[in-house]
Amino acid sequence: MRNGWGGKFFPALLLLGGLLAPLPVLADAASEAKAFVAKVADRAVNQIGRAQVNEEERAERVRSLMSDNFDIPAVARFVTGRVGKLADEVQQKEFQQVFLDYQVHTWAKRFKDYGGQTLEVDGALPPDEAGVISVDSRLLDPAGKPPILVTWRVRPGDDKILKTVDIVVEGVSMALTMQSDYRSILQRQGLSGLTKALKEKVEAIRSGKMEVPPLKASTAK
């Protein structure tokens, strides 16, 4: 039997077992990602959206939420691409800080107009080849407006803790949109030029000179 059917069956069984073993792990990863997104949404609604706080406190709460749950350095590296990679470490760190400031004040303004919306998590895909898990959700409006479809792209960091690396709203990736928006100034003025431009935008948002557009549902049929 060593070279017969039985001798071939046992190695094949081991191979099959090796192929099947990761499936529960992948399912667990998807479930963990769903729970992560639900927890972030709950924190955003209860500690920021519904909270009666001034603008400074709201911004600090948004900063804490993003610092805890978003991989800002990874997103900053992605949106600045090759130009950012070639910059020195001091410039990279400065940009990451200003980039975070810009996100904080943008979302603080959006939360100021909070109108009772809630996020309902629908499902999650297994990790892709880069370890990124896509979690589908819907932003529901109590006034009956069409829900906004939001996909969260999350992955474990070096510390194995899940962090958000992108948010896709109605099929539009925020990370890709920022990368496209920043490309021209990066090519003309480098990372330092983009850092300066974002600093000016932060000040404009804080002073009320620059409006922050709300998230909108798609009107496509």
Distances (CA, A) of 102 to 71, 184, 219: 15, 18, 28
- pLDDT score of 11: 47
- The residue-averaged pLDDT of 128-134 equals 94
**5 vs 72, more confident:** 72
Looking at domain 23-207, its CATH architecture is Roll (3.10)
Q: How confident is the model at residue 13 (pLDDT cuts 50, 70, 90)?
A: very low
CB of 187 closer than 8 Å to CB of 194: no
- 162-169 and 133-140: which strand pairing? unpaired
CB of 73 closer than 8 Å to CB of 171: no
CB of 151 closer than 8 Å to CB of 175: no
- pLDDT score of 220: 40
pTM above threshold 0.75? yes
Q: How confident is the model at residue 90 (pLDDT cuts 50, 70, 90)?
A: very high
Distance CA 149, CA 169 (A): 6
**205 vs 17, more confident:** 205
Strand order in the sheet with 162-169: 118-124, 133-140, 148-156, 162-169, 172-173
Tokens of 33: 């990602």
- pLDDT score of 27: 66
In the chain, where the domains are located: 23-207
Of the chain, the percentage scoring pLDDT greater than 70 comes to: 85
Closest CA to 46 of 139, 126, 131, 117: 117
